[in-house]
Structure 1
């Protein structure tokens, strides 16, 4: 590990039990000449503790920083597709870091702009769902093409790493993170003589632009999901989604690829 990356910030929900679990890891880091900082702006490595949900929150709450590395540490009962390290084996994590058995991997982000005003970044996915007990109507545009008129519960636009999450539960494809792309998947679409969609997930390359026009028919306040946070934004008219130029840099084990983690988690 480079001497320039020695300032660690630990991201987790404080509790007596969690503090007791994390303290030995903090002490081991200090004993190996790392510095623990209290402000994430002073860190060059941000360590989340608590599985994939905590990792997504750590990236979002610290502003998707481009000048630092993110490292995920899971607990024994947590899912860990973003987390190569375990709190049960924290000594091993420091050993890996000291012996250069880790590498930096870069994961693509998608950028969602609502009504050409508010812009959000997503590491997993952006989803648009009805907030009412009725279907939502969305006109889907790819670049300048009006591609389809969707009616159903909603749409999910996922990154490659996010393809293993909400997207996969809708039978979307699992996509290699080496392919900079975004995937669009449907939530309970209606297909009949009046409404017609592709009725399957589709993948867009990094140069494509996606626009979702929300028809104002009473569903003017849909739920916008950004990773594992939900936003209720007034009078949503359209959402422009594209692959961002920004990336999230994560600390991963050299011996643990994306497909190793997929195999271990699902097979």
Structure 2
């Protein structure tokens, strides 16, 4: 992205009435302040403003192929963990954005290389990538960390979370909240089975940023696996192995300078 500002701002929103109205008001305010808001997503814009909840925020990044420009969210949803602003802060935001009163925070997504006998596909997750059995069946996964065998997991599945995603699905599974300034991945079990027949880790495992997590499924009933990335579910057949690691992509979030991650955690969870 060029350092020369074009003053083009992409505004995207979900279809909720409050989001559409916020989008209308925001576009008017931006244009009044000399910004150009295109009708279609412009890859040469300086900024994306996403209006909605956390789901809208994640979909915007996925649907636009993780663009290089920073993104900021206006919360018209429920939790709004990604979203920086409320609808009543539009004037304040435009004023502070023009002054440069913000910081850019880089995200560290997780990527999975999913391979069958015939081909491989790449999947990116901002929050997490989860591997689960189809039709809620128990799944058996041989898991290695780099070249070291870790465990034969049995249960509903495993989730590999980024620091950003540590407060999402990972947190509901009992995983750890991770400060986003740390570069690491977290492997969190989903309903692990620990009996005399099966032995699985029951807590999350923290691994360094340069690790590769290798997963080799064992099939009992049928040869399909669900892979869920940031809440979007895909069914794959005859997967032989899955390699997960930290992606080289660095999507950017624009944060106002007084943003504090741990204050956000307390505000949303306590």
Residue equivalent to 2:30: 29
Residue equivalent to 1:216: 219
Candidates 40, 44, 49, aligned match of 1:47: 49
CA distance in 2, matches of 1:3, 1:174: 37
CA distance in 1, matches of 2:111, 2:234: 15
Normalising by structure 2, report the TM-score. 0.92
How does 1:76-91 map onto structure 2 within 5 Å?
77-91=77-91
CA distance in 2, matches of 1:249, 1:15: 25
CA distance in 1, matches of 2:62, 2:177: 23
**Would you say 1:229 and 2:232 are equivalent positions?**
yes
Secondary structure of 1:79's match? coil
**Would you say 1:163 and 2:194 are equivalent positions?**
no
Q: Tell me by how many angstroms 1:169 deviates.
A: 0.4
Q: Tell me by how many angstroms 1:130 deviates.
A: 1.4
Counterpart contact for 1:56–1:228, Cα < 8 Å: no
Q: Tell me by how many angstroms 1:20 deviates.
A: 2.6
Residue equivalent to 1:58: 60
**1:35-84 superposed Cα distances (whole Å, 9 cap, x missing partner):** 1123322423111110211110111011011x211111111x52221111
Instruction: Let me know the Cα RMSD of the aligned residues.
Output: 1.6
CA distance in 2, matches of 1:204, 1:11: 35
Number of residue-to-residue matches in the alignment: 264
**Would you say 1:179 and 2:182 are equivalent positions?**
yes
Q: Tell me by how many angstroms 1:205 deviates.
A: 0.5
Residue equivalent to 1:96: 96
Secondary structure of 1:85's match? coil
CA distance in 1, matches of 2:175, 2:6: 37
Q: Tell me by how many angstroms 1:7 deviates.
A: 1.1
Secondary structure of 1:89's match? helix
Residue equivalent to 1:108: 108
Q: Tell me by how many angstroms 1:17 deviates.
A: 5.4
Counterpart contact for 1:132–1:219, Cα < 8 Å: no
Q: Tell me by how many angstroms 1:256 deviates.
A: 1.3
CA distance in 2, matches of 1:69, 1:48: 11
**1:98-136 superposed Cα distances (whole Å, 9 cap, x missing partner):** 222211111111111100611011100000111124200
Ranges of 4+ aligned residues in structure 1 off by more than 3 Å: 14-18
Distance 1:17 1:162, change over 3 A: closer
CA distance in 2, matches of 1:188, 1:15: 34
Normalising by structure 1, report the TM-score. 0.93
CA distance in 1, matches of 2:61, 2:238: 28
Counterpart contact for 1:130–1:219, Cα < 8 Å: no
Residue equivalent to 1:148: 151
Distance 1:215 1:86, change over 3 A: same
Residue equivalent to 1:266: 269
Counterpart contact for 1:129–1:154, Cα < 8 Å: yes
**Would you say 1:249 and 2:252 are equivalent positions?**
yes
CA distance in 2, matches of 1:219, 1:185: 24
Q: Tell me by how many angstroms 1:194 deviates.
A: 2.6
Distance 1:172 1:35, change over 3 A: same
